[in-house]
Amino acid sequence: MIKEFADWLSYKVFEMQAGTHMADAVNFFVYDTIKILLMLTVIIYVVSIIRSFFPPEKVKKILAHKTEFVGNILAALLGIVTPFCSCSAVPVFIGFLEAGVPLGVTLTFLIASPMINEIALVLLWGLFGARIALIYIGTGMVVAITAGMILGRIPAVERMVEDYVWEIRMGNVEPPKLTWRDRAEQAALHTQDILRRVTLYVLIGIGVGALIHGYVPIDFVATYAGRDNPFAVPLAVLIAIPLYSNAAGTIPIVQALMGKGMPLGTVLAFMMAVTAISFPEMVILRKVLKVKLLAIFAGILTIAIIIVGYLFNAII
Amino acid sequence: MEIKVLGPGCRNCEKLEADSKQAVKESGADATVSKVTDMAEIMRYGVLSTPGLVINGKVKSYGRLPSVKEIRTWIEEEKKN
């Protein structure tokens, strides 16, 4: 139905000739924008309802005193559904440690939570299809679990956390009793808030994507940054780091580039770096991690993401 | 009555402070609204997700932005105690 509408708008209303660059770009833009905004509305709403059952105050109790491996897996899963913004990274970090969540498990959570978020998933699913969205979730979890486990095993890693962190004592708060109506209302507010923040980026991203789709030659990326170029993956990761968690704006562009021959591994590595590694995030984490641990944290994450890139370029 | 807004200074924390002042004004309660930005103090209340709202030492909400109407109901509740 959206497809018919996009065809009608671009070929009938704008009277463009089907098959020309301009008509292609407009058609692509109208179709993708409507599809993505509809998907965002529905999925953010559903995820917000699920989230209302897992506030960090509750998650820390679930993860407290869990053993290494099981704890890391749980942390990665809970990271997907837990509300998280980088402004709460510090309290979540301190609160988890104080509750007895192992350091490695806490770090797994801090990696998974921004990396596997619903906005990125909607865009991946809507633009790349369910298969790639699932591959992204799976590899994202493996990266978060592995990096957390490695970091947790560094000898005397506790001493690489800022000292004041260990001195904070937390109070206990009764989780508010929410009715289904409360959850529905809060989810609606949250959905509006997110849509207001990302719509412009989605429009810009899809707009640029549409131009690439209509005008860039078909094997453009394949020629310059295809499978054979060993520097493509690290370069993609480097470019992604300053694009602070802006999945909404970048994923449509990457999707268009994939259509022009960017291999899947490079695509995955790029998107993981956009969501998981960012300069502002590191500045925030510096408040709780000493420089050495922060550097190891960023290093391991970067290497893990680059490995994902090479691996998928090699096998698919 | 003592109303405290817990938050390191994100956008929602500022909105909650303004909304709390609005709710106080509407209800005509004798209350002060102050901000708590120190992380250790925020966490003493057990709150991990900001902004949090504390009235007379009791955590009323956290991790979301309550409406002015809701804040008013909490103020009325506390008035009775």
Q: How far is A95 from chain B (nearest CA, A)?
A: 7
DSSP H helical segments within chain A, as ranges?
2-7, 21-51, 56-63, 68-81, 89-98, 103-115, 118-128, 130-152, 180-215, 220-225, 232-240, 247-259, 264-276, 279-285, 291-315
pLDDT at A86 (0 to 100)? 65
Mean pLDDT of chain A: 87
Residue reference for tokens 């913004």: A85
- Give the tens place of pLDDT for each residue, A36-78: 999 999 999 998 898 888 888 888 889 998 888 999 999 999 9
- Tokens representing residue A218 in the block: 């078909």
Q: Name the active-site residue from B3, B5, B6, B13.
A: B13
Question: What value does the mean pLDDT take over residues A79-100?
Answer: 81
Tell me which DSSP letter residue A277 carries. Answer: -
- Chain A partners of B57 at a C-beta cutoff of 8 Å? none
Task: Count CB pairs under 8 A between chains A and B.
Answer: 65
Task: Please list, in sequence order, all residues whose beta carbon lies within 8 angstroms of the beta carbon of residue A263, skipping any fewer than 6 positions away.
Answer: A226, A227, A232, A312, A313, A316
B30 touching A (Cβ < 8 Å): no
- Give the tens place of pLDDT for each residue, A228-281: 788 889 988 888 887 766 778 888 888 888 888 889 999 999 999 988 888 878
Put the strands of the sheet holding B32-36 in their side by side order: B32-36, B2-6, B52-55, B58-62
In this complex, do B48 and A91 lie within 8 Å of one another by their Cβ atoms?
Answer: yes
Share of chain A above pLDDT 90, in %: 36
User: Which of A111-115, A145-149, B6-10 is predicted least confidently?
Assistant: B6-10
d(CA A79, CA A111): 8
- CATH fit for domain B2-80, picks 3.30.300.30, 3.40.640.10, 3.40.50.150, 3.40.30.10: 3.40.30.10
d(CA B76, CA A282): 43
* pLDDT at A314 exceeding the cut of 70: yes
Q: Name the active-site residue from B8, B9, B10, B34.
A: B10
d(CA B28, CA A125): 51
Does residue B10 carry a catalytic annotation? yes
Question: What value does the mean pLDDT take over residues A148-157?
Answer: 93
Does residue B13 carry a catalytic annotation? yes
Greater confidence, A15 or A150?
A: A150
In this complex, do A88 and B59 lie within 8 Å of one another by their Cβ atoms?
Answer: no
pLDDT at A42 (0 to 100)? 93
In this complex, do A55 and B49 lie within 8 Å of one another by their Cβ atoms?
Answer: yes
A134 touching B (Cβ < 8 Å): no
Share of chain B above pLDDT 90, in %: 37
* pLDDT at A121 exceeding the cut of 80: yes
d(CA B57, CA B36): 12
A18 touching B (Cβ < 8 Å): no
pTM for the complete prediction? 0.85
In this complex, do B46 and A98 lie within 8 Å of one another by their Cβ atoms?
Answer: no
In this complex, do B49 and A90 lie within 8 Å of one another by their Cβ atoms?
Answer: no
CA distances from B19 to A260, A298, B12 (A): 50, 39, 10
Phi, psi at A18, each rounded to 5°: -55, 140
Residue-range domain boundaries for chain B: 2-80
- Give the tens place of pLDDT for each residue, B34-68: 999 888 888 888 888 888 999 998 888 888 888 89
- Give yes or no for a contact between B20 and B26, defined as CB atoms under 8 angstroms apart: no
User: Which of A124-128, A202-206, A207-211, A223-227 is predicted least confidently?
Assistant: A223-227
d(CA B80, CA B13): 27
- Give the tens place of pLDDT for each residue, A8-25: 877 777 777 777 777 778
- Chain A partners of B19 at a C-beta cutoff of 8 Å? none
